[in-house]
Amino acid sequence: MKHREILYLLLISGCTHGTAAVDSKGDAGPPTPVDHLATNELSHSKVLAFGLPIPEGMKVERRFASSVYLTGSVSATALADFVRAHAIAGPLERIGNRRVFSKVKIRGGDSSRLYDIEIDETGATQKLIVTDVTPPPLTPGLTVEERWRRAGYMPDGTPIPSAQGM
Q: Which of 15-19, 70-74, 122-126, 144-148 has the lowest mean pLDDT?
A: 15-19
Distances (CA, A) of 105 to 10, 79, 125: 55, 16, 25
Helices vs strands, H then E, count in the chain: 3, 9
* 8 Å CB contact between 106 and 48: no
CA torsion sign, 140 to 143 to 148 to 152?
A: negative
What is residue 106's predicted lDDT score, i.e. its pLDDT? Answer: 92
pTM: 0.63
β-pair type (58-63, 98-106): unpaired
Distance CA 58, CA 150 (A): 40
